[in-house]
């Protein structure tokens, strides 16, 4: 294989072979204050909500641990609220609107007054309560949301609703998802339930593509190619999955239905490497990197089946990881070492007007657009812990950036949740690389995988 240029520190090693694809899962430091970027994404402050465990009767009793955990996870991971610690809650928890006591001056203290939840030690703004029971062989959840800062019960109740599901764990999760979604809708958001994360795992002996729910449940193997398979890319509508695989010897791109796992037609260019795919908003085209010119790795575009291939960059440098703006489709992020070290650049969708976004120091990789079409997440090698990679976010217009991870191993391959409030990423903070999520301010870090080595996640809308 002809090879004209490689990134430093062996990043691309053999250019398109294992060095490229194993290392492309690869954080600069600014003030630790809450940045304007974070404020734009998460807001200036988050309302506080109390989520006491809901109770169940009869056949619903055994389902309450699953129901309560699902409800808590949905609300907490949304990033909309600050969930107040349960250790601060009163001993008595109302289950129905009839359980509340009307205001009696300044009296409070037993858990049945609104003030019990708005005053110290709880100090919540909102309260979600309810209970579950069996009704005609089905699970029924009665869910209520209250604004505990309102002075009277009539105005405090935001909604009270019944939810029905099957009388099993699946039904408990379903009604909890619905209740959580109704809570979040009051604040212009929705749960992440129904979204999936695709990632690379070697737990079966080979690097294959896997999928899981947003909270790490239901981890399933997607590909069974028994060959190095990396760099998944999901279409914006969640219907198509593209990735790079060595199943035929040299790295090539494959496209699959994300829903049926059926392989779809894609003709790879005659090249020593075709890799790092990206699917456009309308599923009509794919962007990728290729050595089709016989020399350097450049950015190309083609129809979703590989037809009509067209070259976009001509720098002679190593250029990979194109990422199409999900909001406008008009511009593309990509990684290039045209300035000497890998940095993140932006160009028009036709390849014109390329400009560098990162400042040129260290090595910057893994650009990922926020759904707002203005903010990107990326990995950079000169953050708080030199020599390792950390996750950063940047406003691509102002070029302001914020560091999210510090001194916690190698953190790379960030990808945004569909609501743009969370990031999923790979990290070696506990030893072997695993998949983690966090809010866009770097808080609420949660581990999703533990079996084998897991990396290169992308978040799908379904």
Domain holding 151: CATH number? 3.40.50.10070
pLDDT surpassing 90 at residue 29: no
Q: In terms of domains, do 290 and 308 share one?
A: yes
356 in the same domain as 280: yes
Does 178 lie in the same domain as 126?
Answer: yes
In-domain check, residue 3: no
Give domain status of residue 20, yes or no: yes
Kindly state whether residues 142 and 123 are assigned to the same domain: yes
pLDDT at 3: 35
Q: Quick check: is 279 in a domain?
A: yes
Residue 1 lies in a domain: no
How many domains, the chain?
2
- Residue 320 sits in a domain whose CATH number is 2.120.10.30
Is 172 within the bounds of a domain? yes
pLDDT value of position 384: 55
pLDDT at 386: 59
pLDDT of 109: 74
pLDDT exceeds cutoff 70 at 289: yes
Give mean pLDDT, residues 101-130.
Answer: 90
pLDDT tens digits, residue range 385-396?
556 899 999 999
130 or 408: which leads in pLDDT: 130
Enclosing domain of residue 146: 48-185
Domain assignment present for residue 2? The answer is: no
Distance between CA atoms of residues 27 and 381, nearest Å: 5
Residues 245 and 263 in one domain: yes
Q: What is the mean pLDDT of residues 327-336?
A: 97
- The average confidence (pLDDT) of the chain is 91
Which residue, of 157, 185, 213, is where some domain finishes?
Answer: 185
Verify that 181 and 204 share a domain, yes or no. no
Same-domain check for residues 361 and 402: yes
Question: 180 and 262: one domain?
Answer: no
193-252 confidence digits (pLDDT tens): 999 999 999 999 999 999 999 999 999 999 999 999 999 999 999 999 999 999 999 999
pLDDT of residue 26: 35
Domain end marker among 185, 204, 230:
185
pLDDT above 70 (res 275): yes
Residues 399 and 260 in one domain: yes
pLDDT for position 383: 57
**Domain final residue pick, 185, 203, 224:** 185
Mark whether 31 and 154 lie in a shared domain: no
Do 214 and 176 reside in the same domain of the chain?
no
92, part of any domain: yes
pLDDT confidence band for 2 (50 / 70 / 90): very low
Say yes or no: 147 and 292 in one domain: no
Query: In this predicted model, what pLDDT tens digit does every residue of 141-189 receive, in sequence order?
Result: 999 999 999 988 889 999 999 999 999 999 999 999 999 999 999 999 9
């Amino acid at each position: 294989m002809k090879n004209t240029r490689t990134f430093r520190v062996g990043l691309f090693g053999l250019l398109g072979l294992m060095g490229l694809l194993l290392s492309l899962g690869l954080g600069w430091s600014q003030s630790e204050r809450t940045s304007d970027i974070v404020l734009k994404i998460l807001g200036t402050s988050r309302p506080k909500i109390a989520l006491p465990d809901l109770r169940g009767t009869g056949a619903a009793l055994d389902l309450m641990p699953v129901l309560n955990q699902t409800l808590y996870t949905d609300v907490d991971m949304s990033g909309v609220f600050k969930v107040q610690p349960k250790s601060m809650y009163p001993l008595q928890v109302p289950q129905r609107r009839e359980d509340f006591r009307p205001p009696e001056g300044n009296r409070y203290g037993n858990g049945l007054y609104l003030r019990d939840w708005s005053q110290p030690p709880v100090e919540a703004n909102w309260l979600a309560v309810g209970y579950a029971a069996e009704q005609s062989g089905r699970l029924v959840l009665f869910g209520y949301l209250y604004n505990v800062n309102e002075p009277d019960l009539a105005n405090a109740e935001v909604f009270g609703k019944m939810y029905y599901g099957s009388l099993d764990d699946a039904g408990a999760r379903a009604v909890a998802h619905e209740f959580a979604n109704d809570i979040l809708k009051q604040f212009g958001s929705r749960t992440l339930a129904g979204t999936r994360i695709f990632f690379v795992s070697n737990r079966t002996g080979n690097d294959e593509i896997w999928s899981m729910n947003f909270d790490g449940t239901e981890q399933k193997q997607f590909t069974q190619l028994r060959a190095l398979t990396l760099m998944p890319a999901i279409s914006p509508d969640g219907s198509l999955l593209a990735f790079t695989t060595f199943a035929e010897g040299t790295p090539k791109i494959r496209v699959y239905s994300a829903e049926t796992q059926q392989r779809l037609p894609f003709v790879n260019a005659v090249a020593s490497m075709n890799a790092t795919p990206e699917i456009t908003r309308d599923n009509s085209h794919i962007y990728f990197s290729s050595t089709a010119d016989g020399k350097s790795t450049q950015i190309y575009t083609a129809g979703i089946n590989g037809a009509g291939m067209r070259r976009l960059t001509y720098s002679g440098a190593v250029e990979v990881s194109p990422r199409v703006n999900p909001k406008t489709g008009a511009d593309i992020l990509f990684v290039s070492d045209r300035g000497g070290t890998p940095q993140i650049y932006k160009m028009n969708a036709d390849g014109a007007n390329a400009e560098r976004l990162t400042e040129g120091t260290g090595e910057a990789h893994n650009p990922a657009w926020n759904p707002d079409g203005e903010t990107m997440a990326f990995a950079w090698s000169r953050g708080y812990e030199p020599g390792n990679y950390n996750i950063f976010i940047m406003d691509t217009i102002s070029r302001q950036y914020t560091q999210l991870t510090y001194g916690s191993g190698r953190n790379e391959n960030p990808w945004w949740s569909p609501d743009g409030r969370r990031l999923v990423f790979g990290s070696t903070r506990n030893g072997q690389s695993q998949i983690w999520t966090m809010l866009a301010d770097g808080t609420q870090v949660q581990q999703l995988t533990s079996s084998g080595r897991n990396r290169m996640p992308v978040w799908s809308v379904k």
